[in-house]
Protein backbone atom coordinates (compact mmCIF):
# COMPACT_ATOMS: atom_id res chain seq x y z
CA UNK A 1 0.00 0.00 0.00
CA UNK A 2 1.33 3.45 -0.96
CA UNK A 3 1.54 5.77 2.02
CA UNK A 4 4.35 8.28 1.51
CA UNK A 5 3.70 11.71 0.03
CA UNK A 6 6.11 10.91 -2.78
CA UNK A 7 4.41 7.61 -3.62
CA UNK A 8 0.92 9.12 -3.45
CA UNK A 9 2.01 11.98 -5.70
CA UNK A 10 3.32 9.53 -8.28
CA UNK A 11 0.14 7.46 -8.01
CA UNK A 12 -2.05 10.51 -8.72
CA UNK A 13 0.20 12.24 -11.26
CA UNK A 14 -0.62 12.12 -14.96
CA UNK A 15 0.14 13.86 -18.23
CA UNK A 16 -2.77 15.30 -20.20
CA UNK A 17 -2.04 16.62 -23.67
CA UNK A 18 1.63 17.09 -22.77
CA UNK A 19 0.80 19.03 -19.59
CA UNK A 20 1.56 17.87 -16.05
CA UNK A 21 -1.57 17.33 -13.95
CA UNK A 22 -1.51 17.12 -10.15
CA UNK A 23 -5.18 18.00 -9.61
CA UNK A 24 -6.13 14.39 -8.71
CA UNK A 25 -4.14 14.79 -5.46
CA UNK A 26 -6.73 17.33 -4.28
CA UNK A 27 -9.61 14.89 -4.81
CA UNK A 28 -8.11 12.17 -2.58
CA UNK A 29 -8.16 13.08 1.12
CA UNK A 30 -5.37 10.65 2.06
CA UNK A 31 -3.12 11.87 -0.76
CA UNK A 32 -3.80 15.53 0.02
CA UNK A 33 -3.10 15.07 3.73
CA UNK A 34 0.13 13.18 3.01
CA UNK A 35 1.30 15.73 0.44
CA UNK A 36 0.62 18.67 2.76
CA UNK A 37 2.40 16.94 5.66
CA UNK A 38 5.30 16.13 3.33
CA UNK A 39 5.54 19.75 2.16
CA UNK A 40 5.81 21.17 5.68
CA UNK A 41 7.93 18.45 7.30
CA UNK A 42 11.37 19.81 6.25
CA UNK A 43 10.43 23.22 7.70
CA UNK A 44 8.78 22.25 11.02
CA UNK A 45 11.77 23.43 13.08
CA UNK A 46 12.15 26.76 11.25
CA UNK A 47 9.71 28.83 13.36
CA UNK A 48 7.55 29.63 10.33
CA UNK A 49 4.96 32.33 11.12
CA UNK A 50 3.29 32.58 7.69
CA UNK A 51 2.89 30.50 4.55
CA UNK A 52 2.58 32.20 1.16
CA UNK A 53 0.91 30.60 -1.82
CA UNK A 54 0.68 31.84 -5.40
CA UNK A 55 -2.69 31.77 -7.15
CA UNK A 56 -4.13 29.10 -7.80
CA UNK A 57 -2.73 25.73 -6.69
CA UNK A 58 -0.49 27.60 -4.25
CA UNK A 59 -3.64 28.95 -2.58
CA UNK A 60 -4.90 25.42 -1.96
CA UNK A 61 -1.59 23.89 -0.92
CA UNK A 62 -0.38 26.94 0.98
CA UNK A 63 -3.61 27.30 2.92
CA UNK A 64 -3.52 23.63 3.91
CA UNK A 65 0.19 23.89 4.82
CA UNK A 66 -0.54 26.92 7.00
CA UNK A 67 -3.22 24.98 8.87
CA UNK A 68 -0.81 22.02 9.25
CA UNK A 69 1.82 24.36 10.77
CA UNK A 70 -0.71 26.30 12.86
CA UNK A 71 0.19 29.63 11.22
CA UNK A 72 -1.50 32.16 8.95
CA UNK A 73 -1.76 32.10 5.18
CA UNK A 74 -0.73 34.99 2.90
CA UNK A 75 -2.13 34.87 -0.65
CA UNK A 76 -0.11 36.12 -3.60
CA UNK A 77 -2.43 37.15 -6.40
CA UNK A 78 -1.66 37.21 -10.11
CA UNK A 79 -2.99 39.81 -12.49
CA UNK A 80 -5.66 42.35 -11.77
CA UNK A 81 -8.35 40.63 -9.66
CA UNK A 82 -9.87 42.33 -6.62
CA UNK A 83 -7.35 42.59 -3.78
CA UNK A 84 -8.05 45.50 -1.41
CA UNK A 85 -5.49 47.55 0.50
CA UNK A 86 -1.90 48.65 -0.01
CA UNK A 87 0.05 46.06 -1.96
CA UNK A 88 3.61 45.09 -2.72
CA UNK A 89 3.78 44.43 -6.47
CA UNK A 90 6.53 42.71 -8.45
CA UNK A 91 6.80 41.45 -11.98
CA UNK A 92 8.39 38.03 -12.32
CA UNK A 93 11.14 37.18 -14.73
CA UNK A 94 9.91 35.03 -17.64
CA UNK A 95 8.63 31.60 -16.60
CA UNK A 96 8.97 28.31 -18.47
CA UNK A 97 6.42 29.57 -21.03
CA UNK A 98 8.31 32.88 -21.33
CA UNK A 99 5.46 34.71 -19.58
CA UNK A 100 6.02 37.45 -17.01
CA UNK A 101 3.51 37.61 -14.16
CA UNK A 102 2.50 40.60 -12.08
CA UNK A 103 2.32 39.31 -8.51
CA UNK A 104 0.65 41.16 -5.63
CA UNK A 105 0.78 40.70 -1.86
CA UNK A 106 -1.11 42.76 0.73
CA UNK A 107 1.55 44.82 2.51
CA UNK A 108 -0.24 44.52 5.89
CA UNK A 109 -0.06 40.69 5.73
CA UNK A 110 3.61 40.50 6.68
CA UNK A 111 5.97 42.36 8.98
CA UNK A 112 9.48 42.34 10.44
CA UNK A 113 8.85 39.43 12.83
CA UNK A 114 7.57 37.03 10.19
CA UNK A 115 9.39 33.95 8.91
CA UNK A 116 7.84 32.98 5.60
CA UNK A 117 7.61 29.72 3.65
CA UNK A 118 6.34 29.61 0.05
CA UNK A 119 4.35 26.49 -0.85
CA UNK A 120 3.40 25.58 -4.43
CA UNK A 121 2.89 22.61 -6.72
CA UNK A 122 5.86 22.99 -9.08
CA UNK A 123 9.01 25.04 -9.45
CA UNK A 124 10.90 25.11 -12.73
CA UNK A 125 12.53 28.48 -13.42
CA UNK A 126 12.01 29.94 -9.95
CA UNK A 127 10.91 33.26 -11.47
CA UNK A 128 7.68 33.56 -9.48
CA UNK A 129 9.31 32.33 -6.27
CA UNK A 130 12.07 34.93 -6.67
CA UNK A 131 9.44 37.66 -7.08
CA UNK A 132 7.65 36.45 -3.93
CA UNK A 133 10.95 36.41 -2.04
CA UNK A 134 11.52 40.06 -3.03
CA UNK A 135 8.02 41.00 -1.86
CA UNK A 136 8.44 39.16 1.46
CA UNK A 137 11.75 40.89 2.08
CA UNK A 138 10.29 44.28 1.05
CA UNK A 139 7.77 43.79 3.88
CA UNK A 140 10.72 43.31 6.27
CA UNK A 141 10.06 39.61 6.74
CA UNK A 142 12.53 36.74 6.66
CA UNK A 143 12.42 34.36 3.69
CA UNK A 144 12.83 30.77 4.88
CA UNK A 145 12.44 28.94 1.56
CA UNK A 146 10.12 27.05 -0.77
CA UNK A 147 8.41 23.71 -0.53
CA UNK A 148 6.88 22.20 -3.66
CA UNK A 149 5.44 18.95 -4.92
CA UNK A 150 7.75 18.82 -7.99
CA UNK A 151 11.18 20.48 -8.07
CA UNK A 152 12.75 21.04 -11.49
CA UNK A 153 15.29 23.82 -10.82
CA UNK A 154 18.81 24.06 -12.11
CA UNK A 155 21.49 24.96 -9.55
CA UNK A 156 21.62 28.68 -10.41
CA UNK A 157 18.00 29.65 -9.56
CA UNK A 158 17.93 27.26 -6.62
CA UNK A 159 20.86 29.10 -4.99
CA UNK A 160 19.05 32.44 -5.40
CA UNK A 161 15.97 31.03 -3.65
CA UNK A 162 17.64 29.60 -0.57
CA UNK A 163 16.24 26.34 0.71
CA UNK A 164 14.02 24.59 -1.83
CA UNK A 165 12.49 21.21 -1.01
CA UNK A 166 10.46 19.07 -3.38
CA UNK A 167 8.57 15.89 -2.65
CA UNK A 168 10.09 14.61 -5.87
CA UNK A 169 12.24 15.79 -8.74
CA UNK A 170 10.79 16.21 -12.23
CA UNK A 171 13.15 13.48 -13.48
CA UNK A 172 11.31 11.04 -11.16
CA UNK A 173 7.99 11.54 -12.96
CA UNK A 174 6.78 9.03 -15.53
CA UNK A 175 7.63 10.03 -19.10
CA UNK A 176 5.17 12.22 -20.97
CA UNK A 177 3.27 10.23 -23.60
CA UNK A 178 1.94 13.12 -25.69
Structural domains in the chain plus CATH codes: 45-172 (3.40.50.2020)
Mean pLDDT of 149-161: 83
Q: Does pLDDT of 37 surpass 60?
A: yes
pLDDT tens-digit profile of 51-102?
A: 999 999 999 999 999 999 999 999 999 988 888 999 999 999 988 888 899 9
| Percent above pLDDT 70 for the chain | 97
Q: Prior bond to 115 cis, omega within 30? A: no
Cα 72–chain centre separation = 15
| DSSP assignments along 72-104, one per residue | EEEEEEETTS---S-EEEEEPPP-TTS---EEE
pLDDT digits (tens, 9 = 90+) for 38-52: 999 999 999 999 999
Q: What is the DSSP letter of 165?
A: E
pTM: 0.94
Q: Is the per-residue pLDDT at 178 higher than 80? A: no
* Coil, helix or strand at residue 168: strand
Q: Which of 92, 114, 110 is nearest to 101 (CA)?
A: 92
Amino acid sequence: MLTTARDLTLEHFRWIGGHADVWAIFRDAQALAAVVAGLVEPFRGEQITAVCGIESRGFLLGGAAAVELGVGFVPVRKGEGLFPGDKVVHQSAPDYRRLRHTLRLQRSSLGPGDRVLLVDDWIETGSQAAAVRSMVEECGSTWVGCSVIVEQLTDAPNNALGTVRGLLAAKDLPPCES
